[in-house]
């Protein structure tokens, strides 16, 4: 890989982490979609992205903790079941392609994104909190490993749509993602091996640069503006992925 390609992946990592750290989602989705477009097998692409995310999620989680965005009870409720789901999903992906499940995940995300947008624009939704965060964490980790991304969209979208505070939800989900990513990355590397280190280095370099600024944005942006951005991002990603699956 030449320096031009390296800096392209630095830019991809920077933009992906800026979105992920500020909105709680999309680093894996953005990065993984590009790697798949370059022809990498799903398991190898997921392993590459999750290896880079070990570093970016570590910096992002620490940044959110520094700015007081993490609710630790929620963090543990998501992190432990999420790690278990991630290990199982990574083991499954190493032997069976996970492409077939993506349309169902994106249909679910489309519904959640619409709910978040309705709340952002003043529509009253139920305010009761998610009662089983551990179950949510398990399935978010499972699907994140299989699809190469999706922890943030599933966990953040569900918690915010069901009444969770925006700042504490995004901070807690980002911090828990570090634990899940370490487990997914280690499992995939065990099964498919490690490679494509120039891509990993480019992605994580851009991500580490962007992570502290993204955490600062969450603390200072208006809540409804963040919710509107979250909802719009989910809807756009979901519609795009569903359209690609149908064509």
Which range (30-34, 81-85, 121-125, 216-220) has the least confidence? 121-125
Residue 43 has pLDDT above 60, yes or no: yes
Specify the pLDDT at position 87. Answer: 96
Residue 187 has pLDDT above 70, yes or no: yes
Quick one: average pLDDT of 169-180? 91
Specify the pLDDT at position 76. Answer: 95
User: Across the chain, what does the average pLDDT equal?
Assistant: 79
Name which residue leads in pLDDT, 233 or 126: 233
Specify the pLDDT at position 180. Answer: 94
Name which residue leads in pLDDT, 123 or 203: 203
Specify the pLDDT at position 99. Answer: 67
> Which residues contact residue 155 at a Cβ distance below 8 angstroms, ignoring those fewer than 6 apart?
24, 78, 82, 136, 137, 140, 173, 176
pLDDT in tens, 51-73: 888 887 888 889 888 988 999 99
Specify the pLDDT at position 167. Answer: 84
Which range (73-77, 183-187, 231-235) has the least confidence? 231-235
Gap between the Cα atoms of 61 and 6, Å rounded: 25
Quick one: average pLDDT of 220-229? 74
pLDDT in tens, 70-108: 999 999 999 999 999 999 999 988 887 666 766 776 777
3-class state of residue 145 by DSSP: helix
> Locate tokens 């709340």: which residue?
119
Residues 86 and 144: beta-carbon distance below 8 Å: yes
- The CB density around residue 47, as the number of other CB atoms within 10 Å, is 32
Share of the chain above pLDDT 70, in %: 84
Gap between the Cα atoms of 170 and 23, Å rounded: 7
Residue 199 has pLDDT above 70, yes or no: yes
User: pLDDT category, 146, cuts 50, 70, 90?
Assistant: confident
Task: Please state the pTM of the whole predicted model.
Answer: 0.73
| Token pair recorded at residue 155 | 């966990």
Quick one: average pLDDT of 155-176? 84
């Amino acid at each position: 890989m030449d320096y031009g390609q390296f800096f392209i992946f630095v830019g991809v990592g920077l933009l992906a982490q800026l979105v992920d750290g500020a909105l709680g989602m999309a680093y894996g989705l953005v990065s993984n979609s590009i790697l798949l477009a370059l022809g990498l097998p799903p398991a190898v692409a997921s392993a590459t992205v999750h290896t880079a995310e070990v570093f970016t999620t570590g910096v992002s989680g620490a940044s959110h903790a520094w700015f007081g965005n993490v609710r630790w009870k929620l963090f543990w409720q998501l992190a432990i079941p999420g790690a278990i789901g991630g290990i199982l999903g990574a083991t499954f992906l190493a032997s069976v392609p996970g492409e077939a499940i993506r349309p169902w995940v994106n249909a679910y995300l489309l519904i959640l994104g619409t709910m978040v947008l309705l709340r952002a624009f003043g529509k009253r939704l139920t305010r009761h909190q998610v009662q089983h965060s551990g179950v949510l964490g398990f399935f978010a980790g499972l699907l994140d490993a299989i699809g190469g991304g999706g922890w943030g969209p599933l966990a953040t979208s569900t918690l915010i749509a069901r009444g969770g505070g925006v700042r504490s939800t995004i901070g807690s989900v980002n911090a828990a993602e570090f634990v899940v990513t370490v487990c997914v990355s280690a499992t995939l590397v065990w099964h498919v091996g490690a490679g494509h280190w120039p891509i990993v280095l480019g992605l994580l370099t851009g991500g580490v640069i962007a992570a502290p600024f993204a955490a600062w944005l969450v603390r200072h942006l208006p809540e409804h503006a963040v919710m509107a951005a979250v909802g719009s991002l989910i809807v756009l990603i979901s519609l795009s992925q569903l359209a690609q699956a149908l064509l």
